[in-house]
Structure formats: C-alpha cells, structure tokens
C-alpha cells in the first residue's frame, strides 16, 4: 500500500521505494503512538500521501509530464487491453498533484471520498470535485484517442 501509493503518484520506482522505506522507519520510531492495526494502516497511508506530495514538490530535475506530451498509442486500445492501462497511468501522471493523489486513493486504495478527504486533509467537496474533473478529463482525452464506451 505505502510503496504503491508513492509509485502510482510519482511514477518513479526508486523514489517510491525510498519514500516507503522512510515511512516504515517513521512508523518504527512512532510505534508507541499506534493504537491498533487499523490505526497503523491509516497512519501509514496518511504519511505516505504526505511524503509523496512533498517529494513531488521537491523533484525539480524531472519535469512533470504535460498532457499533450503523452504519445498517441500506435493502435487504438480497447477496454480490458493492457495498452489502455498503460495509457491511463500516463494520463493520470499529467493531472495536477492533488487530483492525481485523489485518483490514486480512490482507485488503488478503494477509499470513498470522505476517507480521501481525511487522509489528504482537504474538504470533502474538493475531493469530489477532483475526482469528477479527473474522470471528465480522462474521458475526453480517451475519446480524442478513439477509446470510447463499451
């Protein structure tokens, strides 16, 4: 969960592993404050989100991927196609950081919007708006690439 949040958010395996290690060492230092396994999971998710956002802000050597820079696939991917998964990950990487993290928590961690709001420390309305906007944008970009509804 910790590595995966950082990996899908940053698209950098080494950096994600570094963050995951840091998060677990942080948990190790704060074990006394952990009350239950559920609390530990919540704590890990929250710290992973924060460290990933911090790392993305610090990361200047690798510029963010612009939406227009995502290459058109050579073939039109269809639903269920691994190419579509790849294209979706690339399109998600182009979203602004707050929207991107909300999408990762929604579709990787399967959290509902109120849980996402809690983990990210932002209002529920903002989370809902982030998800709706991101989905609309992805639909539009996919439609432009010829990927439509089933």
Partner 1 sequence: MDWLEDELKNALSRKEPGEGFDERVLAAARRRNVVAMPRRWMAAAAAVIVLAGAGEAYRWHRGQEAKEQVMLAMRITGHKLNLVQARIAGERQ
Q: Which residues bind partner 1 (CB under 8 A)?
A: 1, 3-4, 7-8, 13, 16-17, 20-21, 24-25, 28, 79-80, 84-86, 88-89, 92, 103-104, 106-108, 110, 135, 138-139, 142, 149-150
Nearer to partner 1, 125 or 148 (CB): 148
**Residue 11 Cβ, how far from partner 1 at the closest point, in Å?**
11
Task: Please provide the size of the chain in residues.
Answer: 150
**Residue 115 Cβ, how far from partner 1 at the closest point, in Å?**
16
Q: What are the C-alpha distances in Å from 143 to residues 77, 138, 150?
A: 11, 8, 12
Nearer to partner 1, 60 or 100 (CB): 100
Nearer to partner 1, 60 or 135 (CB): 135
Q: From CA 85, how far away is CA 79, in angstroms rounded? A: 9
**Residue 72 Cβ, how far from partner 1 at the closest point, in Å?**
18
Q: From CA 7, how far away is CA 30, in angstroms rounded? A: 24
Q: Which residue is associated with the tokens 């995502």? A: 70
**Residue 99 Cβ, how far from partner 1 at the closest point, in Å?**
13
Residues 6 or more apart in contact with residue 69 via CB below 8 angstroms: 94
Nearer to partner 1, 120 or 138 (CB): 138
Nearer to partner 1, 8 or 117 (CB): 8
> In terms of C-beta density within 10 A (0-12 exposed, 13-18 middle, 19 or more buried), how is residue 98 classed?
middle
- Residue 133 in tokens: 């906007």
């Amino acid at each position: 969960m910790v590595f995966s949040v950082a990996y899908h958010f940053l698209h950098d395996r080494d950096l994600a592993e570094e963050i995951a290690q840091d998060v677990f060492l942080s948990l190790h230092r704060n074990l006394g404050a952990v009350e239950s396994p559920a609390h530990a999971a919540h704590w890990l998710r929250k710290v992973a989100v924060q460290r990933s956002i911090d790392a993305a802000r610090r990361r200047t050597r690798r510029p963010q991927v612009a939406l227009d820079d995502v290459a058109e696939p050579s073939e039109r991917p269809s639903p269920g196609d691994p190419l579509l998964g790849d294209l979706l990950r690339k399109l998600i990487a182009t979203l602004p950081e707050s929207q991107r993290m909300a999408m990762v928590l929604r579709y990787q961690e399967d959290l509902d919007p109120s849980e996402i709001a809690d983990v990210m420390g932002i209002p529920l309305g903002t989370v809902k708006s982030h998800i709706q906007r991101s989905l609309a944008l992805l639909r539009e970009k996919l439609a432009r690439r010829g990927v439509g509804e089933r």
